Structure 1
C-alpha cells in the first residue's frame, strides 16, 4: 500500500513537470515571433521606405508653405531692406520661383552665418539660401545642391589702392587692416590665409564696405560677386582680382541631408531653372 502511494506521488510530480516544461517551451518558441516582427520593422528596406514616406517635400506641400532661411546681409543674393522690411535679391526671387513650382507660399526666416547650419538642423527652416558657398565641410552635415553660380574670394578695396593689394602676400601684413563678417566662408578664408594681417570681425556684413570706403579698414575679403556689387554702388571702392580670384567656388542651396525625395526635387528644379533660362533672367536683373 505504501509502495503504491509513493509510485502515485512520483507519477504526479512527473506529470506536473512535463506540463510546466511544455508550457515554458511553448513560450520560448513564441517569443522570437514578437522579436522578429520588431526587427522587421527596423530592417534597412523598411527604414528606407519609412524615410521616403516621411519626406520633407511632402510636409512642405501639405502645410502649404516653404520656410526659407537667409541672413539678409549678403547683396546681391539677400538683403533685408529696412525701409520696406522685406527681403530682396537674387535668391529671394529664385525662392519665389521655387514656391510657385511647389504650389506653396514662401516664408523667409532670419538667420546668421554663425547659426545657419544649427538653425537648419533644428528645423527652423526647410532650405538655407542667400549666397551659400558649396564646400565639403557643409556637405558633411547637410545636403548642398549643385552649383548655380561661379565665383571666388577676392579683395574689396579703395579705388586709390587698386594697385596695392594684388596678392595674398600684399594683404597678409600686420599693417593691413581687414574687416570680415563672422561665421561664414569669408572668415574661414581670412583665418587660413591672412594670419599676419590685422583682422577685425564686424558683426554686420553690410557695414564692412562702407568702413573700407571711409578708411577704417583697408580690405574686405568677400565673393567676387559681392565685391562687384559694392564697387558699382560706391565709386570710392574697387573690386580687385575679379577675373583671377584667390579661390574658385560655386553657390548652392542647403537642405537637411538624408531625404532623397526632397533632394531629387531640388536638383531637378535647378536643372529646369537653368534649362528654361529662369536663372539667367534673375541674374540679369540683379548682376548686370
Structure 2
C-alpha cells in the first residue's frame, strides 16, 4: 500500500502531497477546513471511545506544527515540505498507527487554540512541556532536555554571560511571538530593547548582521544555528538560564490516546529511535 505525507495550511489553501512510497511529488489544492467541516470532525470523533480509534478509522493523523523552529520543524521553501526531528518522529508515530500523516501549519500564538478547535490531533515542533500548557491540553512524556540561552555574535561571546548583561536598554533582542521564548524575555529582560519578529527563522541572520544583539532561544536551536553560521555563538549552553523539556501536545481528557502516545514514546526510546534522531538533526 502506498503511503502519503500531506502538508496542509491551517489558515489558507493546502500546499502539497508527497508520495513517499515512490518518491513522486504532486501538488494539490485543497481548501482549509471550514467551521462546518471542523464541527463534523468533532461529531465524528464522538462516535469513538477515543481519538486514537477515530484516527485509525479515518486512515490519517493530523499533526500541527509551525515549520519555523529548527531542528525540530522546518517548512523547506524549496520543497514545500516539512523536515526535522519532530517531523521524522511523527512519521514514525503514524507508521505505528498504520495511517498516513498530514502536517497542518500553525503558529506559536495560535497553536493551543488550533488544537482545541480540532484542527489537528497532536502539536509538535519543539513544544516546551510546562504546567501552563498542561492546564489546557495534555503534554506527553518528555523526549529531550534543553534550556533558554542567548544566541549572539561570536565577537560578543565574552560580553553576554548573564541575564544582567543582557537586561539593558542598549541590548537589542529579537524574539518570536507567542511562545516560551517571548515569555522568558517579557518576564526577565524588561529593561532590554525588544522587537518581536514574526518569522522565527529570520532572527539568527538578523543577529549575525548586527540588527539585533541577542536572540533568546532554546540551547538546541542556538547550537544548530551557530554550527551553520560562524558569525554566531551559542552562549551558556552548558549552564542555560532555565531547564525544561520538550514534549508532544494532545487534547486533554483522552486517557486511551495519551496512553498510546506514552507507550509509543517508551518504544522509541528503547529501540534507540530518539537517539538516532538526535544524531541526525542535532549533534
Aligned-pair CA distance for 1:282: 1.1
After superposition, the CA RMSD in angstroms is 1.2
Change over 3 Å in CA distance of 1:182–1:221 after alignment to 2: same
1:30-49 matches, cutoff 5 A: none
Find the aligned partners of 2:46 and 2:90 in 1 and give their Cα distance.
25
Give the structure-1-normalised TM-score: 0.82
Give the structure-2-normalised TM-score: 0.83
Question: Is residue 2:96 matched to residue 1:105?
Answer: no
Match for 1:218 among 193, 213, 222?
213
1:185 maps to what in 2?
180
Question: Is residue 2:165 matched to residue 1:170?
Answer: yes
| Contact 1:166-1:240 within 8 A present in 2 as well | yes
Question: Is residue 2:123 matched to residue 1:128?
Answer: yes
Deviations along 1:95-114, one digit per CA (max 9) or x if unpaired, are 00001100000000000000
| Contact 1:51-1:259 within 8 A present in 2 as well | no
Runs of 4+ in 1 over 3 A off after TM superposition: 50-53
Q: Which has the higher helix share?
A: 1
1:202 maps to what in 2?
197
Aligned-pair CA distance for 1:52: 10
Find the aligned partners of 1:153 and 1:136 in 2 and give their Cα distance.
17
Aligned-pair CA distance for 1:182: 0.1
1:235 maps to what in 2?
230
Structure 1, unaligned runs of 5 or more: 1-49
1:21 maps to what in 2?
none
1:258-277 matches, cutoff 5 A: 258-277=253-272
Q: Which has the higher strand share?
A: 2
2:39 maps to what in 1?
none
Name the SS for the 2:135 alignment partner. Answer: helix
1:74 maps to what in 2?
69
Q: How many residues align?
A: 239
Whichever of the two has the greater Rg, that structure is 1
Match for 1:56 among 51, 56, 70?
51
Find the aligned partners of 1:197 and 1:88 in 2 and give their Cα distance.
34
